[in-house]
Amino acid sequence: MNKATVYIVIIILVLVSVSTIIYFKYELPRRLGIEGEFSNLSISAKYDGKFVEAVLIIQNGENKEIKTREGYEFLEIKKGVYEIYCINSSEIFYKAKKTFNITRDVMRIDFELEKPKEVRIKSKENGSIINLEIYSENYQNAKVCLKHSLNYIFVNTEKEEIDLLDGYKDWDKCYSLDKSIKGSELLNVSYKVFGIPNEDDYIKIAVIDTEYIKGSYRNQLDGVDLGGKDKISRIK
């Protein structure tokens, strides 16, 4: 290989190297829309494909509050990972916190809200066990509490017992279903009889949804129920 050919090869390699550096440093970020420090963010709150009026908190070290209407709201925001959650809306929605990685110069976020749905309870006796079918289209992080009169004893479910929930301190026991109800859930309540029950004796169940608030699942905040309406039924 003569000197001229060597020089040509060196020049080509230099040009390729410079082009590669320019592409990855400038062109690729431009195409991905991530070259700037800030993002022009458009955000909406939606439920079932429709816009919802809501107050959203956009959180990353400091909180930004924005009220969405029937469309998109616009703001300039520094790029990074943000947690977004709903604190108020025109209807009752869960306040689930969701994480978004905002990396582009222009981004759009449709914040999907979830609404609690009605709970239905069917019960059937099987000896000293009550078979329950609890149904809802959406009931978040469900718990149940039991209350009974003195002629029923050892009233239990097979679920994990938890501390008595806010608003249910005068009930006998509370349990975690350890899941959200989206469809049918089966639950068995067992009991024993002490004395002879009469028409004033009872076993009641409350089905309660919860929100994750400040490190724990809560069903009330400052005496106000969170999420959906509690369902209380007499099952015996």
Q: pLDDT digits over 68-80, tens only?
A: 888 898 988 888 8
Report pLDDT for 189: 96
- Is the pLDDT score of 144 beyond 90? yes
State residue 59's pLDDT score.
86
Mean pLDDT of the chain: 84
pLDDT of the residue at 218: 86
Please give the full DSSP string across the chain, using - where no structure is assigned. --HHHHHHHHHHHHHHHHHHHHIIIIIHHHHHT-SSSEEEEEEEEEETTEE--EEEEEEESEEEEEEE-SS-EEEEEESEEEEEEEEEESS------EEEEE-SSEEEEEEE-------EEEEEEETTEEEEEEEEEEE-S-EEEEEE-TTEEEEEESSEEEPPPTT-TTSSEEEE--S-EEEEEEEEEEEEE-S---TT--EEEEEE--EEETTEEESEETTEE-SSPPEEEE--
- Residue 14 phi/psi, 5-degree rounding, is -65, -45
Q: Among 42-51, 73-82, 217-226, which stretch is predicted with the lowest mean pLDDT?
A: 217-226
Look at residue 172 in the predicted model and tell me its pLDDT. Answer: 96
Q: Check residue 57 and give its pLDDT.
A: 87
pLDDT of residue 4: 58
Kindly give, in sequence order, each residue whose CB lies less than 8 Å from that of residue 228, ignoring residues fewer than 6 positions away.
92, 116, 117, 118, 119, 139, 140, 209
Q: Give residue 31's pLDDT.
A: 56
Tokens of 142: 């469900």
CA 104 – CA 123 distance, rounded (Å): 53
As a whole-number percent, the residues of the chain with pLDDT over 90 amount to 43
Per-residue confidence at 212, pLDDT binned at 50, 70, 90? confident
Q: Is-contact 171 164, C-beta < 8 A?
A: yes
| Percent of the chain topping pLDDT 70 | 84
For residue 201, name the pLDDT band (cuts at 50, 70, 90).
very high
Residue 7 is predicted with a pLDDT of: 55
Whether the pLDDT of residue 34 is over 50: the answer is no
What domains are defined for the chain?
38-112 (2.60.40.1120), 120-234 (2.60.40)
Strongest mean pLDDT among 135-139, 192-196, 208-212: 135-139
CB distance 32 to 104 below 8 Å: yes
Q: Which of 124, 169, 161, 125 is nearest to 144 (CA)?
A: 161
Give the closest residue to 187 by CA, choosing from 215, 230, 158, 160: 158
Kindly provide the b/e burial profile for residues 66-89, where b requires at least 16 CB atoms within 10 angstroms of the residue's own CB.
Answer: bebeeeeeeeebebeebebbbeeb
Nearest to 142 by CA among 86, 217, 214, 47: 217
pLDDT in tens, 160-191: 999 999 999 999 999 999 899 999 999 999 99
Which of 30 and 191 is assigned the larger pLDDT? 191
pLDDT value of position 92:
83
Alpha carbons within 13 angstroms on the beta-carbon side of residue 199 total 0
